Amino acid sequence: MLTKISRNMEWIEVGTIADIPRLGARVVNTDEGDIAVFRTAADEIFAVRDRCPHKGGPLSQGIVHDRSVTCPLHNWVLGLDDGVAKAPDEGCVKTYPVKIEADTIFLMI
């Protein structure tokens, strides 16, 4: 599912927890580019730029495990909480603040 929102520095509602399957992602299209909003097995919600720093792979299509996602193109593993690539790879992806109110997800861009 792709949601289009425009840039403003406020919390933007992007859906509910139930909209994202466990170990899955939802893509939110913004003026900054696509943002992947992930749900972990523990129902934690994280948001990162939907572009791997290695070769631009769509992280939203990667495999979610623990608090990380593995890029579908070249298996880079990135932390969902900090955006940092796991060794031996180096690099990072932009993260975005997320908050949840009554099962509704809000994203700050």
* CATH, domain range 2-108: 2.102.10.10
- In tens, the pLDDT along 37-51 reads 999 999 999 999 999
Query: Where does the pLDDT of residue 8 fall: very low under 50, low under 70, confident under 90, or very high at 90 and above?
Result: low
* Domain range summary for the chain, segments of one domain joined by +: 2-108
**DSSP for the chain, written as a single string:** -EEE----SSEEEEEEGGGS-TTEEEEEEETTEEEEEEE-TT--EEEEESS-TTT---GGGSEEETTEEE-TTT--EEETTT-BBPTT---B--EE-EEEETTEEEEE-
- In tens, the pLDDT along 23-42 reads 999 999 998 899 999 999 99
Least confident segment among 3-12, 21-30, 60-69, 95-104 = 3-12
